[in-house]
Structure 1
Amino acid sequence: MSDPAHGSWYFSVQLPRDTPGPARFRKGGFRTARQAATARDHALATAVAGTNPRRITVEQWLRRWQQSLPGRVRRSTAATYGHHVDYYRIPYLGNHTLTGLRPAHIETMFTTIGALPTRSGRPVSAATVQRIRATLRRALNMAIREQLLLVNPARLILLPRPHRHRPQPWSAARVAAWRHDGQRPTVSGWTPDQLARFLTFTADDPLYPLWWLASLRGLRRGELCALRWTDLDLIEGTLTVNHHIAHVHGRPYLDSPKTAAGHRTIALDRTTVTVLRQHQQHQQQFFSDARKPWQPDGPVFTRPIRPDWLTHHFTARVTASGLPPVRLHDLRHGAATLALTAHTDLKTVQDMLGHTSYAFTADTYTTVLPEQARQAAETTAQIILNAQHKLPRTKPG
């Protein structure tokens, strides 16, 4: 909370009844809300450490668990856990004692969450519900390790499995339906012709090389934003992914890939090398005109690009092009589909995308294009036709 009289932040907490000292604790003089929240959580964790285990509430335990996260998980992961704790766990479960928490309490929480609309007006997705449960399970597993619980009640909850929507290409029929009443697939992708039209439309866009890389090589938006010239070898025709831009509390920061598979080297075709060489020459000329030294280890895209801004800019460019809508992330799916259409083996596509799981690549990022489906149907029918032609001809009757 802010203190108008002093221009600073303070916190006030109600400590457990069996905690030594006053039941309510207040402290101020913090420059930011985050500093006050950190101090509050530390005060709670310290108080809980000396509390009768049977009197520890779920809120107190979750605050203590949050204090243990820095240095053990990624900053973005800790921020996601914190969001789950503040918006879901504590409001619905915080008043229960840790030892008194039952599966029925957790089921009631999920029933309530499922009925609440998100900022987009849609209900919370099954995938989000699963992630919320995973956060709770992790926090309660720590209580089991410290012998405060015997069983993790979050493990006993049955939740609907997330439905993985298979991407649908924008066929002529789907485009017509979209233009008529706005009807669109949950997850969609452009056909090669539609992608070519978008790249032609954005040919004069300063971010054209970025759209090209996203479309043909399938880089994530955070990886594109973090790309530096030292990550490119335009002689050998390779691109190495070493970093990505992540967000915590709305602020971007440079981070390493989440998995070992995320650290990868991607082969570049000659056309992509040409696109990047031309972009490099334009960038060097821009710095020369501004009488600034060009940095060979500088960012490939000199304008400070945030991943969230990039998403909004891409959406605006798609709208201006008149093409059916796709998400920026759908270009990544499209890159995998195009590679498979070119008869690239799935293992190579997996490495290009930086996936740990071969099955995940196959299930998530591959869609049969209409042209492929028609060719497969024709080939199948031709097998029967060829067999029929080999049969001896007999006269009826």
Structure 2
Amino acid sequence: MSREEQAGRSWTVTRWLRYWLSTRTRIRPTTRMHYTHDVERFLIPHIGQLILGDLSARQLTAAFGQIAATRNRSGQLQSPCTLQHVHTTLRAALTGAVREGLLTTNPARHVELPARPRPQAQVWTEARVAEWKATGQRPTIAVWTPTQLAAFLDYVRDDGLFALWWLIALRGLRRGEAAGLRWGEVDLHAGQVSVVRQRTTAGYDVHEGPPKSASSRRSVALDQHTMRVLRQHRERQTQQRDLRAAIGKVWHDSGYVFTGPDGLPIHPGYLTQRMRLLVDRAGLPPIRLHDLRHGAATLAREAGADLKAVQDQLGHASIHLTADTYTSVLPESQREAAEATARLVLDAGKSGAEIRRQLTHNPTTVQGRPAEAQPVTAPACRPRWKPSSATRGARLRSSARRRSGRAHEPR
């Protein structure tokens, strides 16, 4: 047995997990925060006392069953999403143990958990708004209709962050990408924004770094209206700087597009709180700040953009994520698709024309009598296929020969 395997037989899971966390020096601060939370909140309390080298899939399955029976801060049982996150952390930690030679295989690979449903973006239709007002229930991911979004943008047109709300709602930037945007990355002549950094939070601390993934580093095209909004925002920012200088207050030339009154970049958490307050004041059905990004994808699809264009706009690594989560179809589009589908049938030759004629006929009467009073009979449908005269003749001749043959058979 090697020294590494001997260590695996002597180390507890707690010792390994904390050592593993100490070696994670090149991960994002938010990832470290999530790993630490999973380790301290779930893994150490349930499997920390076990010997690392003796871990089995059966032990881990039992532990996840115990975790599933605990409750979150809202008093509800842990969700499949939480279990999946904890499993991801454990699997990464045990993969590190395999890499270091303390384990030969990763037992977390054989743990089966409840499937995590991927939430679908739901549009705030009139029916959903009425249900929300009556019950308080709302979709996990909710997006506004174009009319509702226009009402919000009209309500916040005098807000100092109007350009930020507009940019996220129409072009789909993430909160951290908008908070980290600098004027040097905005080209109002070519009409594009380069996403090269983001400002994220780990707890309350702000960390600035590269975008979420390689695909998140992208150029986002700007329309003329968005360019006009950003120009007006830059003019107001310049006026604010000059006003503060005139009254002897400090202005920080930070270079960020969206800043506080002193020119310093805005805390990303403030954007979330501000959005929630403005939505409440506007009297609109509730959505989160990130839901503006979902809505931008929905609007792009409604405007005719294909999935690849939406994927590039949002900076997704996979087009499946774009299709599954971010592109809920607006009711108007669904109705148009339904109408187009029906037209394909009704415009299909004489049969389609006959169906159209029947559908446009007054459905409340049949041959002068109310439809409800008609006897129930077999539907008067034309057969799907009508034999030709030659086929009918051949059938008659064949039938005659069979009858003639039977007439000469001995009884």
Task: Report TM bin, short chain.
Answer: 0.7 to 0.9
> Deviation of residue 160 (structure 1)?
1.1
What is the correspondence of 1:108-127 to structure 2 with a 5 Å cutoff? Answer: 108-127=62-81
More helix by share: 2
Normalising by structure 1, we get a TM-score of: 0.82
2:168 counterpart of 1:214: yes
Summarize deviations over 1:341-389 as a string: whole Å, max 9, x none.
Answer: 1111211111110111111111111011100011111111122222265
Question: What is the distance in 2 between the residues matched to 1:352 and 1:160?
Answer: 32
The range that moved more, 353-362 or 179-188, is: 179-188
What is the correspondence of 1:1-397 to structure 2 with a 5 Å cutoff? Answer: 52-71=7-26, 73-291=27-245, 298-303=255-260, 304-387=265-348, 389=350
Which residue identity lines up with residue 255 of structure 2 in the other structure? G
Change (3 A) 1:296 1:276: farther
Which residue identity lines up with residue 87 of structure 1 in the other structure? R
Question: What is the distance in 2 between the residues matched to 1:144 and 1:353?
Answer: 36
Which residue identity lines up with residue 16 of structure 2 in the other structure? W
Equivalences, count: 348
Question: What is the distance in 1 between the residues matched to 2:47 and 2:251?
Answer: 55
Partner residue of 2:372? none
Which residue identity lines up with residue 17 of structure 2 in the other structure? L
The range that moved more, 108-117 or 187-196, is: 108-117
Question: What is the distance in 2 between the residues matched to 1:318 and 1:309?
Answer: 14
Change (3 A) 1:158 1:96: same
> Deviation of residue 52 (structure 1)?
4.6
Which residue identity lines up with residue 142 of structure 2 in the other structure? S
SS of aligned partner of 2:348: helix
Change (3 A) 1:294 1:56: closer
Kept in 2, the 8 Å contact 1:239–1:267? The answer is yes
Which structure carries more relative contact order (alpha carbon 8 Å, separation 6+)? 2
> Deviation of residue 297 (structure 1)?
6.2
Kept in 2, the 8 Å contact 1:229–1:297? The answer is no
Kept in 1, the 8 Å contact 2:198–2:211? The answer is yes
Which residue identity lines up with residue 244 of structure 1 in the other structure? Q
Greater Rg over alpha carbons, structure: 2
Question: What is the distance in 2 between the residues matched to 1:268 and 1:391?
Answer: 45
SS of aligned partner of 2:52: coil
> Deviation of residue 202 (structure 1)?
0.7
Which residue identity lines up with residue 288 of structure 2 in the other structure? R
Question: What is the distance in 1 between the residues matched to 2:133 and 2:93?
Answer: 48
Question: What is the distance in 2 between the residues matched to 1:288 and 1:390?
Answer: 74
SS of aligned partner of 2:300: helix
Which residue identity lines up with residue 258 of structure 2 in the other structure? F
Question: What is the distance in 2 between the residues matched to 1:125 and 1:223?
Answer: 29
Question: What is the distance in 1 between the residues matched to 2:194 and 2:181?
Answer: 9
Change (3 A) 1:57 1:289: same
SS of aligned partner of 1:136: helix
Normalising by structure 2, we get a TM-score of: 0.80
Question: What is the distance in 2 between the residues matched to 1:50 and 1:105?
Answer: 20
> Deviation of residue 321 (structure 1)?
0.8
> Deviation of residue 74 (structure 1)?
2.2
Which residue identity lines up with residue 296 of structure 2 in the other structure? A
Q: Among the aligned pairs, what percent are the same residue?
A: 45
Kept in 1, the 8 Å contact 2:4–2:102? The answer is no
Question: What is the distance in 1 between the residues matched to 2:86 and 2:339?
Answer: 47
Which residue identity lines up with residue 24 of structure 2 in the other structure? L
Which residue identity lines up with residue 39 of structure 2 in the other structure? V
The range that moved more, 366-375 or 102-111, is: 102-111
Summarize deviations over 1:245-277 as a string: whole Å, max 9, x none.
Answer: 122242011111121111111110000000000
Change (3 A) 1:391 1:244: closer
Kept in 2, the 8 Å contact 1:230–1:297? The answer is no
Question: What is the distance in 2 between the residues matched to 1:49 and 1:392?
Answer: 79
Question: What is the distance in 1 between the residues matched to 2:344 and 2:238?
Answer: 57
Kept in 2, the 8 Å contact 1:230–1:296? The answer is no
Question: What is the distance in 2 between the residues matched to 1:113 and 1:309?
Answer: 33
The range that moved more, 54-63 or 121-130, is: 121-130
Gaps of 5+ in 1: 1-47
Summarize deviations over 1:15-34 as a string: whole Å, max 9, x none.
Answer: xxxxxxxxxxxxxxxxxxxx
CA RMSD of aligned residues (A): 2.4
The range that moved more, 136-145 or 266-275, is: 136-145
